[in-house]
Structure 1
């Protein structure tokens, strides 16, 4: 893939790099990706960000590359928190291999402490504990830790290892035979699946939801059932299936209303399933469907303070900010991006789509109209070169 020095290339620059390597004109690539040539031109020059998973999927498919080739390495490799977390990835890989051949080790860390750190998107604290815990835990504890492992590895840029951890969770849950943990483990597997796989993630989530549906009289099973429908909704949106996405959201909403908000323990596997979480996913799904106004309307009905955990709030604030940027509310978007950064700073610095949107806002602004908040957001997103005087 394209190599960079200093700050990462924005996604449009990666698209231009691969388009030129493939010998395609903008007109040809635009046609293959299902967009207009002026739209693609704005993406390549950084004036329009790539914010939807579906757009990334279309461009990656048309260029015959992976989404990772377009988004680049997750975050700044010189960032101390990212570097500290990534240093433990070889040990995680070794632990997963050893487990596969039956060499388990004695767990030494506290599962609850890891779950809390994971919920804060504190990858630098989580990563050193994962080798021992993935390499030795059993039962429901292993499934929970695998979930933290999957989203940590994905955000650090190791999706293949994330899928290995997900497969481990599924095997353990199937051995347990508990429908609630089967649902959670399969949710984790859907989470680990690459976005460039159209249809399969939504179908898997639906299939497992149908499998555990006879048991939803159990509140824990109902939580897993609802989470599966939420993920199916988002994946259906990526597949441009709006009707299916909304049907999944309705099914999840009904389950959430019957349960109410989770207690202080955040429910099964600390997934925090309930009406507020459904609201978060509704915003993300409407945004993915290309409906920023509907996303903002949904956001108005959400009280994020009801779920005071970073791995729910930070993506929500970033989604709201992205929707604001799409409807021309740039100043509000920047302020809301800064809320996302304050809530989950390590997560924020690893999100290429966040960086892209902030970059496009700054490129649209005139040099003498850059506000203090714009400069702060650019610095947080590793875009310092855009604000140099």
Structure 2
């Protein structure tokens, strides 16, 4: 595994290492840090020693503590996405920020969602910017609390908390997931929007899954699915949300070991996906026929039936999926299926596909790291050399 140099004289090498890990070009990092690209190049080559102010600016541009560039902090403790969790927590409780107009706030939230669902470098591109977005959103809703724009502001802030729920889940902060899921429900209630309330309940259901509270997730998702059409009418959007909520319940059943119940729920959700085809990406849930099929693959993997999982996977055209996140998860599921069948070449090929799709996700995914370690255990494995190279690229601890 590649390690950051330890000497104070190797700041440039550390800058280059973390810039490459983030997937950012010299031009992007230089622009974020307020220096010229030529100067950054000289720093990386060891020809210039940056000042303390420039080191801090470079660290912020790379989304890492300044101590990492100085060699004071071990690389592995700061390289993962969990390093941003404390900054998110502080932003959620500290206040501050500035009130902005609702149109620009909505654009910022939607842009953040787009980055999260569609970028292979979403951690480095998005997570460092979230604290400012949180503070500005909270400042805006405080100003709007008794004004005519309160409901619109609450709707936008609710959308932001939905994003924060999935981000905090991915960085392993279940404590923050509960906090932002609860705030999302409060915001949806203030917006008086039954669809956003259903989305907020969907988010809370995923938080319960993260904490292994499967029965609670089934109860919540089933109840929410039963009420959303009554509250919002039989529109394609409302119908789609019933399907998205039922998928949460299906995964909760599968994780609780009730696999037939999970399959039965999925069978009931397929017709909903067809009916609600015109709804689009409601609440950023990515609900649709393809998503239902991806859940079916996941359920069969949970059952340990790799052959059935692969059979279902072969029927899917992932070129139709607009979400990088879902394509990454699908590649990882295929790698797991081939691993269950003890087919090392297939496992490696799909891990490499996951790396091409979303390199940062692979770097920060513990399941993927475990698969790579197991590939390296076979002394006579035909893919051992390639697996070792992959382990080095994504920082697998051996």
The one of 221, 228, 247 aligned to 1:205: 221
Task: Determine the structure 1 residue equivalent to 2:389.
Answer: 376
Matches within 5 A, 1:162-201: 162-193=177-208, 194-201=210-217
**Alpha-carbon distance in structure 1 between the residues aligned to 2:175 and 2:316:** 34
Distance 1:383 1:167, change over 3 A: same
- The alpha carbon displacement at 1:384 in A equals 6.6
**Alpha-carbon distance in structure 2 between the residues aligned to 1:166 and 1:197:** 15
Matches within 5 A, 1:40-59: none
1:193-250 Cα offsets, whole Å, 9 max, x none, are 2343241112211111112143462111122211111111111101011122112212
Whether 1:225 aligns to 2:223 is no
Aligned residues of 1:81 and 1:346 also touching (Cα < 8 A): no
The one of 53, 73, 78 aligned to 2:75: 78
Task: Determine the structure 2 residue equivalent to 1:22.
Answer: none
Distance 1:87 1:370, change over 3 A: closer
**Alpha-carbon distance in structure 2 between the residues aligned to 1:381 and 1:231:** 30
Task: Determine the structure 1 residue equivalent to 2:155.
Answer: 140
Task: Determine the structure 1 residue equivalent to 2:7.
Answer: none
- The alpha carbon displacement at 1:370 in A equals 3.5
* 3-state SS of paired residue (1:157): coil
Aligned residues of 2:181 and 2:200 also touching (Cα < 8 A): yes
Whether 1:335 aligns to 2:324 is no
- The alpha carbon displacement at 1:139 in A equals 2.7
Structure 2 unaligned spans of 5+: 4-72, 138-152
**Greater RCO, CA 8 A, separation 6+:** 1
The one of 90, 97, 106 aligned to 2:99: 106
Aligned residues of 1:82 and 1:123 also touching (Cα < 8 A): no
Distance 1:222 1:105, change over 3 A: farther
Whether 1:97 aligns to 2:110 is no
Aligned residues of 2:82 and 2:173 also touching (Cα < 8 A): no
1:8-55 Cα offsets, whole Å, 9 max, x none, are xxxxxxxxxxxxxxxxxxxxxxxxxxxxxxxxxxxxxxxxxxxxxxxx
Matches within 5 A, 1:227-242: 227-242=244-259
1:126-157 Cα offsets, whole Å, 9 max, x none, are 22332233334333322322222122222223
- The alpha carbon displacement at 1:322 in A equals 0.2
Task: Using the TM superposition, name which of 288-297 and 322-331 deviates more.
Answer: 288-297
- The alpha carbon displacement at 1:335 in A equals 0.3
**Alpha-carbon distance in structure 1 between the residues aligned to 2:259 and 2:381:** 41
Aligned residues of 1:81 and 1:124 also touching (Cα < 8 A): no
- Normalising by the residue count of structure 2, what TM-score does the alignment of the two structures yield? 0.69
- The alpha carbon displacement at 1:256 in A equals 0.8
- The alpha carbon displacement at 1:112 in A equals 2.1
Task: Determine the structure 2 residue equivalent to 1:321.
Answer: 335
Aligned residues of 1:234 and 1:288 also touching (Cα < 8 A): no
1:276-303 Cα offsets, whole Å, 9 max, x none, are 1111111112211222222111111111
**Alpha-carbon distance in structure 2 between the residues aligned to 1:304 and 1:354:** 20
Task: Determine the structure 1 residue equivalent to 2:289.
Answer: 275
Aligned residues of 1:233 and 1:249 also touching (Cα < 8 A): yes
Task: Using the TM superposition, name which of 136-145 and 310-319 deviates more.
Answer: 136-145
**Alpha-carbon distance in structure 1 between the residues aligned to 2:205 and 2:127:** 21
**Alpha-carbon distance in structure 1 between the residues aligned to 2:85 and 2:272:** 37
Aligned residues of 1:184 and 1:224 also touching (Cα < 8 A): yes
Structure 1 unaligned spans of 5+: 1-5, 7-75
> Normalized per residue, which structure has more helix?
2
Task: Determine the structure 2 residue equivalent to 1:61.
Answer: none
Task: Determine the structure 1 residue equivalent to 2:267.
Answer: 250
**Alpha-carbon distance in structure 2 between the residues aligned to 1:105 and 1:233:** 41
**Alpha-carbon distance in structure 1 between the residues aligned to 2:340 and 2:74:** 29
Distance 1:196 1:130, change over 3 A: same
RMSD (Å) for aligned C-alpha atoms: 2.7
Aligned residues of 1:358 and 1:381 also touching (Cα < 8 A): no
Whether 1:128 aligns to 2:128 is yes
Aligned residues of 1:216 and 1:225 also touching (Cα < 8 A): no
- Normalising by the residue count of structure 1, what TM-score does the alignment of the two structures yield? 0.70
Matched pairs, number = 303
